[in-house]
Amino acid sequence: MLHINEHYLKLQASYLFSDIARRVAAFQEQHPEREIIKMGIGDVTNPLPPACIRAFHQAVDEMGTSENFRGYGPEQGYPFLREAIATNDFQSRNAEVSADEIFISDGAKCDTGNIQELFALDARVAIPDPVYPVYLDTNVMAGRTGAFQDGRYQGLVYLDSTAENGYVPSLPQEPVDLIYLCFPNNPTGSTITKPQLQTWVDYAREHKALILFDAAYEAFIRDDSLPHSIYELEGAREVAIEFRSFSKSAGFTGTRCAYTVVPKDCVAYDRKGNTHSLHALWNRRHSTKFNGVSYPVQRAAEAVYSEQGKAECRALINGYLANAHLLGEAMDKLGYAHVGGKNAPYIWVQSKRDSWEFFDTLLEKAGVVCTPGAGFGKCGQGYIRLSAFNSRANVEKAMERIATAFGK
């Protein structure tokens, strides 16, 4: 008799964004005449930068000639993209990362979910709350948690991110092995300073732990004092793996390209205490289970680092940040406390009521979709997330509708 992986049965009924989509579809079916403005899921709305489009087209044309056709590429990524990333995203900020430590993939979601395969099932995992659901769900699927009770999974160490601590969690009060951090943060839009991040690096070095650092939103940072990469911190190469994506910085949500940095200094241990290279382990996993990102997509991603590409991507991001500023102003006028939006595309709003209740109210009264904070964890109850990923016109319209709905 074939048995299933019963850890999947611990998962909550549906993935957060699937549940949102279901509710929105049901509302739309009942009210087909209503225009809905989606400000929930963090999907970009602007087209790819022209520099990327040109590079994409050129690469496709190359694939149409015998002289330039390419078959299977290197699973780790083509050298031209890995070198461009190392030079522009890290070495330009005095962060020591070499091209062969960069693994190109089709999304940070996949990498942050798959990386846990390298580690023992009894690893003690520390996860922020609120949190991007992928970190949590993939560890549940693997079997690192107990049952779901009182809004949390048994066996995990939760790192509360609240207004009281500025949405930057404190160090765990018990030993942990794996630590998930995301800054600029999804969902709160909060940021972390270099001294704050250094305390996490120091903790990991002292306790032989590993930090899984999600920097998918680093391109939105406008405060020069904030770290763009964890490798700007002393000792981080020994204890941190970093995840990045072109999805939000260059509009690649439908094009699919991201990367993970695994320094060669980064190690973990077997039961006998022997060290093993995480770079070598991830390379083996990546080569075995991933076919690589297509050549045209990698050429399009490389164009992000051209002078024109840099200017076009910065303009895209500035547009979304301007939207975030509008969201923040609107929430201020309505009297809702919030964080984020200055160095991130998300606004984390105290909803003054149950998150899903507020979601339903916004949808029914204003035709606006938000993301209920409760879907990100226990500490998200009483909050909603608003996304700046939309057109300026839609953001303005959405804020006008919300103001009208709440009598302001």
What's the CA gap between 33 and 125, in Å, rounded?
Answer: 47
The answer to whether the CB of 181 falls within 8 A of the CB of 193 is no
Rounded alpha-carbon distances, angstroms, from residue 275 to 245, 253, 281: 29, 37, 12
Residue-wise pLDDT for 153-203, tens only, equals 999 999 999 999 999 999 999 999 999 999 999 999 999 999 999 999 999
Count other Cβ atoms within 10 Å, centred on residue 154: 11
Q: Is 224 helix (H, G, I), strand (E, B) or coil?
A: coil
* Res 14 pLDDT > 80: no
- Rounded to the nearest angstrom, the gap between the alpha carbon of residue 87 and the centroid of all alpha carbons in its chain is 22
* Res 12 pLDDT > 90: no
Pairing between β-strand 178-182 and β-strand 148-149 as defined by DSSP bridges: unpaired
Tell me the average pLDDT of the chain.
96
What's the CA gap between 55 and 172, in Å, rounded?
Answer: 46
Q: What is the pLDDT of residue 188?
A: 98
Q: Is the dihedral of CA 296, 300, 306, 307 positive or negative?
A: positive
Residue-wise pLDDT for 331-364, tens only, equals 999 999 999 999 999 999 999 999 999 999 999 9
Residue-wise pLDDT for 87-110, tens only, equals 999 999 999 999 999 999 999 999
What's the CA gap between 346 and 176, in Å, rounded?
Answer: 29
What's the CA gap between 247 and 42, in Å, rounded?
Answer: 10
The fraction of the chain above a pLDDT of 70, given in percent, is 99
Count other Cβ atoms within 10 Å, centred on residue 373: 27
The fraction of the chain above a pLDDT of 90, given in percent, is 95
The answer to whether the CB of 247 falls within 8 A of the CB of 42 is no
* Res 42 pLDDT > 90: no
The answer to whether the CB of 147 falls within 8 A of the CB of 153 is yes
Q: Which residues of 237-247 are buried (b: 16+ CB within 10 A; e: fewer)?
A: bebbbbbbbbb
Q: Which stretch of DSSP H or E encloses residue 115?
A: none
- Sorted by sequence, the CB contacts under 8 Å of residue 235 that are 6+ apart come out as 201, 202, 205
Q: What is the pLDDT of residue 82?
A: 98
DSSP 231-296: GGSTTHHHHEEEEEESTTTS--TTT--EEEE--TT-EEE-TTS-EEEHHHHHHHHHHHH-----HH
Count other Cβ atoms within 10 Å, centred on residue 192: 23
Look at the chain and count its residues. Answer: 408
What residue ranges define each of the domains in the chain, with the CATH number in brackets?
Answer: 6-47+310-405 (3.90.1150.10), 53-307 (3.40.640.10)
Q: Which residues of 22-31 are buried (b: 16+ CB within 10 A; e: fewer)?
A: ebbeebeeee
- Sorted by sequence, the CB contacts under 8 Å of residue 393 that are 6+ apart come out as none
DSSP summary character for residue 306: S
Q: What is the pLDDT of residue 40?
A: 86
* Res 408 pLDDT > 70: no
The answer to whether the CB of 363 falls within 8 A of the CB of 26 is no
